[in-house]
Amino acid sequence: MGRPQRAFVDLLDTGLVRGLVLDVGCGTGELSLFLARHGYDVLGVDLSPLAVRRATEKARWRRIAAQFLVWDALDLPRLRAADLSFRTVVDSAMFHVLGDRERDRFVDGLGDVVRPGGLYCVLGDARRTDGDIYGLTPDELRNRFESAGGWEVAFTFRTVFERRWSSNPAYFVGVRRL
């Protein structure tokens, strides 16, 4: 799309982005670059070497100090082992594509890298039917994070996920580490 989703622009405007930021599933880096341009130290991770290469090239062309790594977001505990922790984790459309077990693994991994008081903010397509795996619902997020322990839902908004030529109903949810 060439720009960050509106929900994350609004998040920045509210002052809820703090400290070192992790962008999981960063793709070609637009959200990471946006946050770095606004003065945040950002690490963007993505499973795709091509996406990370493009994000790194954009950062160089735009002269923005953001860092990118080819990394599996389901392996967050290894980031903690490297002594990295984050005050803010942003997720623009990664969680909503994970399978059921992967979602639990990801939530557990977040517990390793999000500092107490830190915030995980996820934007994803709204689940269309109860039986679907794709998409997300605020209730599902609340249940997964409450089951993991040490988290509380800070906010939930119904919004849209914008694509180049269309948009889908979506949710924007923030979950705070206790």
Q: Is the dihedral of CA 79, 157, 35, 29 positive or negative?
A: positive
Alpha-helical (H) ranges within 25-148 are 30-37, 49-62, 76-81, 100-113, 138-148
User: Where residue 129 falls among pLDDT bands split at 50, 70, 90?
Assistant: confident
Tokens of 121: 């903010």
Residue 166 has φ and ψ, to the nearest 5°, of -160, 180
| CATH numeric code, 6-177 | 3.40.50.150
Give the tens place of pLDDT for each residue, 2-49.
889 999 999 999 999 999 999 999 999 999 999 999 999 999 999 999
| pLDDT recorded at residue 73 | 96
